[in-house]
Amino acid sequence: MDLAPPPAAILLTGATGFLGAHVCAELLIRYPSARIFCLIRADGAERAGKRLARNFKRLRLGDERSMGRLVPVPGDLSKPRLGLSEVDYGELAERVEAIYHCAANLSLVASYEALIPANVTGTQEIIRLARQGSPKHLHHVSSLGVFLAGRRQGLTRVDEATLPAIEDAGPVGYAMSKVAGELAVHDAAPALPVTIYRPGLIFGQSRTGISTNDDMIAQILRVGARVGCLPDSTAPLHTGCVDDVARWIVALAAANAPGRVFHPATSGEPTFAEMVGHFRALGHRMEPVPIRSWWREVEERERNAASLTVRLARTAIDLVLGDPDPAWPHIESTTTATALRRLGHDRRAPGASYFHALSSHLVALGKLPAPGARPVLATTKGRSA
């Protein structure tokens, strides 16, 4: 694969998020002379800069020297011209040579209508900027969630070339909004160089276990530890630690592959049961039970913030873990695996070392009982009280 010339200026959205911040850190490493313009929702450049710095500090990313190449741009994805003045918009369009669009509202409970401004309108506005002046290569981060309910629509297998339909997302507003956003990018492709990346479930940092409140798997584990059980599901988890996913995206982007779609995620590893097995091996008390039994435990006994987040996301969780069967189709990623191998990257799956790091991180924050501790809450007969 031919490498693209290094861009002198890049526009990045989502730098104050989780994946976007790690993509930003990878871009700083790969392009040591590039300036990265970070579109950030904030009232003024100073506040935008502070938001960016706080996020990088929290995630332990970047250094003072490289951070000096980040240019905070206060704006709003959902507004015309990204919320910029006509002059600022024109200058930005003139300067940047590539765009990485990572920003999205990740809510699994919001309606499709509520997510349109950030996830659909925002993508349309980024496309307009990419078309302004000289066409800019648009790197759009979509999601494997576009196929969240694909099996129920007759899709048994999908690959990078499969075009999603809104029905494949099922009733989850987030997945529907990602379909709409991706389709807008596909429509723009004939006149614009675009590459689309569909990551799966994004885990925390591979070495530290650091994650965010948007990490639904971590929330499920927290709730499971409190009630002493987790769903007995062998559903495949198309995953990747956030730093790995960011590295894969930036490596694939540098390979200059307009018109392509990639799946920067593992091929279903680990399964949910394997993940639970890692935590049980560490000493966490999490007994596998039928998923509907688990939901009864959670609804009857859990009332904290993590439980509320999980309960509100039940529709999406049931589609992934299976109630009664997983709704995700078989996801093929051979094209991505081949491309990454040629670039010197393996799609490593999160394993024992990652789950040890995640466990240690959550225990240190007081969000998970220490290994060996009895469940916090009483459970039904046959399990610890």
Task: Give me the pLDDT at residue 2, please.
Answer: 66
**Contact by Cβ (8 Å): 157, 334:** no
**Contact by Cβ (8 Å): 226, 376:** yes
Distance CA 73, CA 258 (A): 26
With a cut of 70, list the residues of the chain below it in pLDDT. 1-2, 376-385
How many Cβ atoms sit within 10 Å of the Cβ of residue 111? 14
Task: Give me the pLDDT at residue 215, please.
Answer: 82
**Contact by Cβ (8 Å): 173, 187:** no
Pairing state of beta strands 194-197 and 137-141?
parallel
- Nearest Cα to Cα of residue 320 among 210, 207, 170, 199: 170
Distance CA 262, CA 196 (A): 6
pTM above 0.85, yes or no: yes
Task: Give me the pLDDT at residue 282, please.
Answer: 93
Could you state, in order of their start, the residue ranges of all structural domains in the chain?
Answer: 9-201+240-262
What is the homologous superfamily of the domain 9-201+240-262 according to CATH?
A: NAD(P)-binding Rossmann-like Domain (3.40.50.720)
Cis ω before 324 (30° cut-off from 0): yes
- Nearest Cα to Cα of residue 21 among 138, 141, 108: 141
Distance CA 30, CA 101 (A): 17
The encoded tokens of residue 254 equal 């540098």
The encoded tokens of residue 236 equal 């495949």
Cα dihedral 221, 226, 228, 231 in deg (nearest 10): -40
